[in-house]
Structure 1
Amino acid sequence: MKYGFVAVALPGALVAVSHSEAAFAHDPTEVGNFFRARNASVMGRSRPEFKSEGVQTGAWIWDPELTVGVDFNDNVFAAPSGEESDTIWVINPTLDVETTWSRHGIQGHLLGLSREFSDFSDESTWTTDMGLSGHVDITRSVLFEAGFGAAELVESRTAAGVASIAAKPVEYDASNWFVGGQADFGRTRLILRADKIDYDFDDAELIGGGFADQDFRDREETIFTARGDYAISPFTSVFARYRKNERDYDLAPPAIANNRDSDGYMIDVGADFDIGGTARGVIGIGYNEQTYDDPAQGKLDGWGLDGLVEWYPTQLTTVTVRAARFIEDAPFEASGGFTSETVAARVDHELLRNLVLSAEIERSERDFLGIDRVDERWTASAGATWFVNRNVGVEASFTRMEQESAGAFPGQDFDQDILALRLVLRP
């Protein structure tokens, strides 16, 4: 079953390139010089006795799932004082579909997420997310793939920007498409991919009346990724990677005060490995740079990091460490962007064949350009996933988040505790 530990129910991720490697939906792990199927994490390993087979119609497998649950949040508005608590009822239907063809393939997903607040009804939200992608196996070692996605989402109350003073959660639309290709030449692998992502934010209704225009955040991002690997062995390769981005905003002066357009890149080198019975992961270290069209903003640059490693101290325990350092766009006009640093560690332990205990801790920091502000956030969570049978699962988690913001223009300091319970149903 595709159950997983969750700290808080969130909208499904838009099918777009992420900070991590622009991964292919189809990864031919069986190809000789790039074998990456020696290890399986506690949450990722096969459990046939607890996995629903879905519904097959011809060459298609339809995999529906319904998650219902409840959250208890002691600081709904992420306020520094005068905290307000509430109970949130969650309904999260999803549908995954994929083909069973021996060559080529199509994958898709559709999901909705309803969060109904018992006391603060204006906080209630409904979000959706859909995506479709496909790959063509031109030869055993060459493939092409493409896809698109679209989502209607809301910003969390813990987000920077206007979220803390808005009367309702800020809504926005996001959409993307991508094309890519992968080819192996003996010990060498080449990956190319292009993504285009669009964001469209609704205006924020303010506490006490009025609106805060969010059109200055509407933008189109283009990302091009090129990566070359050399296989030292079938289980380890070294790589060099180049990621180029262009961020074009819909509005420019005089409609807004500052030109927010920018372009940048990240170049890194690293290793991609799968050491049998010990660890697997991808680690890249390099350099980030983002240059802004507004001379007052100048540029942000510095070292970059993108890594995720799973370590298997025993067959029943997986320790996952992830770290990243990137440059992001800021959610307010005074700043062009910020440097984001994140490091996290997670432990999943299989106490029983159908019971997994999990714990995670994460530290993140945002250092903003153009204004004196640094946000530091700690998040710690613990939970359990119970695979009852092929059709039923239960999840429970507790999450604590703490943020401190420093500088001449700080954000809000806050603490937030969330207890989440979920019931997962599948046919």
Structure 2
Amino acid sequence: MTQRQVRVPRATVSSLPPAPPPPPPPQRRRPAADLDPYAPLGLRLGNVVLRPALTSSLGYDSNPERAASSARKGSPFSRTEGELEIQSDWNVHELRGRLRGGYSEFFRNRDASRPDGEGTLDLRLDASRDTRILLETRTRLDTQRPGSPDLTAAVTGRPLVYQYGASAGVTHDINRLQLTLRGSVDRSDYEDGKLSNGGIVSQADRNQTQYGLRLRAAYEVTPGFRPFVQGEVDTREFDEAVDSSGYRRSSDGVTGRVGSTFEISRQLTGEISAGYQNRKYDDGRLRNLRGLIGDAAILWSPTPLTTVTLRGTSELGDTTVAGSSGTTARRVSLEIAHALRRNLIVTGLASFGRTDYDGQSLREDATSFGARIEYRLTRTFSVRASFTHERLNSTSQGSDYTANIAQVGLRVQF
């Protein structure tokens, strides 16, 4: 073999090492429905989850019209109640809401049959990392009891009260400081009462519109402690300048309060606030209504099976009682829920409320307590039973009453 035929072998260039496999996708937090085998899964509509529910019950009410003990007339009843929860699943922005409506029909006392309902729908628009636009709508449907001090005559049935409103605001974060400015409009309409002789008691003088503007400044001391200070001005305008007693009820109010949201641990969270409100009326005969106001909502979970919820409120309200500027209402409620098993929950409830009518020796104390049990058969079906005792003590002659309500029903949820 000649030298020309000898070839030096070429050095081979090895290929690049294979790319490492991609990291596994992050584990998404399991939804509550997966953690609780009896929680509803909901119905997905695009990126929005709907959780509808329907409850049908039968029961007995010893005093459907909340009349004085000597005039009460018990009746069996049926109740149908529908609910809808709305929750978005968007990367930015958020939509959430809850709607509830029900109707109670009393077989022996048709006049006591009544609807009720409430709902809220909130939309948060993330304009930037630090700025958010807040939009809210709300509505409530309720009825008045025949013996209410604001009803100027003994009516039959329960006149309806429609309340609805909307708010729009913006919140902006400056490091740990958060500023929120919100404007609101709320409307209240009262149905006329019907007399036993076919006459009508007009309540048009109670219809009103309220306009409010609120500014809140909150500072995050720690992730679980955010104190705040808040100021609010509002105007209440009645449709009729003068009410049935000859008073001009429109008013202007100024409110200031301080408080804090807190999360001491995962077992204890809530919000507490207290403040002072002063309300001036167009009618010089009505003295300014002023006093302490406040709100409290505390959630405590001492064990994974037990939840304790404490709520309290103090507020100033309107009235048409002659010579009274308004009402001071204070309420507190306690609810204790315990899961005997994952699908068997027992709940105890108690509440107390006191309403004082300014300028009059009129006071009402309302007390209620009861118990509820829920047995979840599947994610979709559950059986509920409850008992409630209600009592009202009033300084107004003939307004006291007691009532016992028992019912059992089937709930269907998706």
1:136 aligns with 2:159: no
Write the deviation string for residues 343-362 of structure 1: whole angstroms up to 9, x where unpaired.
22221212211222111221
- Given that residues 169 and 180 in structure 2 are in contact (C-alpha distance below 8 angstroms), is that contact kept between their aligned partners in structure 1? yes
- Given that residues 160 and 411 in structure 1 are in contact (C-alpha distance below 8 angstroms), is that contact kept between their aligned partners in structure 2? no
In the TM superposition, what are the counterparts of 1:31-50 in structure 2 within 5 Å? Answer: 47-50=35-38
Write the deviation string for residues 293-322 of structure 1: whole angstroms up to 9, x where unpaired.
211111121222211112232232222222
- Given that residues 61 and 100 in structure 1 are in contact (C-alpha distance below 8 angstroms), is that contact kept between their aligned partners in structure 2? yes
Q: Equivalent residue for 1:105?
A: 94
Q: Structure 1 residues 96, 277: closer, same or farther in 2, change over 3 A?
A: closer
Q: Equivalent residue for 1:76?
A: 64
Q: 1:270, 1:128 → 2: CA distance?
A: 30
Q: Unaligned regions of 5+ residues in structure 1, if any? A: 1-43
1:414 aligns with 2:396: no
What SS is found at the alignment partner of 2:399? coil
Q: Could you tell me how far 1:109 is from its partner in structure 2? A: 5.1
Write the deviation string for residues 212-249 of structure 1: whole angstroms up to 9, x where unpaired.
11001100012322221111211112111223222110
Q: Unaligned regions of 5+ residues in structure 2, if any? A: 1-31
Q: Structure 1 residues 411, 322: closer, same or farther in 2, change over 3 A?
A: farther
1:236 aligns with 2:230: no
Q: Structure 1 residues 376, 152: closer, same or farther in 2, change over 3 A?
A: closer
Q: 1:420, 1:178 → 2: CA distance?
A: 37
Q: Equivalent residue for 1:281?
A: 270
1:63 aligns with 2:55: no
- Given that residues 88 and 95 in structure 2 are in contact (C-alpha distance below 8 angstroms), is that contact kept between their aligned partners in structure 1? yes
In the TM superposition, what are the counterparts of 1:208-287 in structure 2 within 5 Å? Answer: 208-253=197-242, 257-287=246-276
- Given that residues 131 and 171 in structure 2 are in contact (C-alpha distance below 8 angstroms), is that contact kept between their aligned partners in structure 1? yes
Q: Structure 1 residues 122, 47: closer, same or farther in 2, change over 3 A?
A: farther
Query: Quick one: which amino acid aligns to residue 66 of structure 1?
Result: L
- Given that residues 155 and 163 in structure 1 are in contact (C-alpha distance below 8 angstroms), is that contact kept between their aligned partners in structure 2? no
Q: Equivalent residue for 1:306?
A: 295
What SS is found at the alignment partner of 1:233? coil
Give the RMSD, CA atoms, in angstroms: 2.5
Question: Larger deviation: 251-260 or 347-356?
Answer: 251-260
Write the deviation string for residues 140-176 of structure 1: whole angstroms up to 9, x where unpaired.
3321121334455433457543298221210233221
Instruction: Pick one of 340, 346, 354 that aligns with 1:365.
Output: 354
Q: Could you tell me how far 1:108 is from its partner in structure 2? A: 4.8
Q: Equivalent residue for 1:203?
A: 192
Q: Structure 1 residues 278, 133: closer, same or farther in 2, change over 3 A?
A: closer
Instruction: Pick one of 314, 335, 340 that aligns with 2:324.
Output: 335
Q: Could you tell me how far 1:377 is from its partner in structure 2? A: 1.4
Q: 2:239, 2:227 → 1: CA distance?
A: 39
Instruction: Pick one of 336, 349, 364 that aligns with 2:338.
Output: 349
- Given that residues 297 and 312 in structure 2 are in contact (C-alpha distance below 8 angstroms), is that contact kept between their aligned partners in structure 1? yes
Higher relative contact order (CA 8 A, sep 6+): 1
Q: Could you tell me how far 1:210 is from its partner in structure 2? A: 1.4
Write the deviation string for residues 340-394 of structure 1: whole angstroms up to 9, x where unpaired.
1112222121221122211122111111023220111111121122232210122
Aligned residues: 382
1:188 aligns with 2:177: yes
- Given that residues 248 and 282 in structure 2 are in contact (C-alpha distance below 8 angstroms), is that contact kept between their aligned partners in structure 1? yes
TM-score scaled by structure 2? 0.84
Q: 1:191, 1:313 → 2: CA distance?
A: 33
Q: 1:316, 1:98 → 2: CA distance?
A: 26
Query: Quick one: which amino acid aligns to residue 409 of structure 2?
Result: R
Q: Could you tell me how far 1:131 is from its partner in structure 2? A: 5.1
- Given that residues 97 and 121 in structure 2 are in contact (C-alpha distance below 8 angstroms), is that contact kept between their aligned partners in structure 1? yes
1:170 aligns with 2:159: yes
TM-score scaled by structure 1? 0.82
- Given that residues 205 and 243 in structure 2 are in contact (C-alpha distance below 8 angstroms), is that contact kept between their aligned partners in structure 1? no
Q: 1:262, 1:177 → 2: CA distance?
A: 20
- Given that residues 109 and 131 in structure 1 are in contact (C-alpha distance below 8 angstroms), is that contact kept between their aligned partners in structure 2? yes
Q: Could you tell me how far 1:203 is from its partner in structure 2? A: 0.8
Q: 1:100, 1:264 → 2: CA distance?
A: 39
Query: Quick one: which amino acid aligns to residue 105 of structure 2?
Result: E
Q: Could you tell me how far 1:418 is from its partner in structure 2? A: 1.0
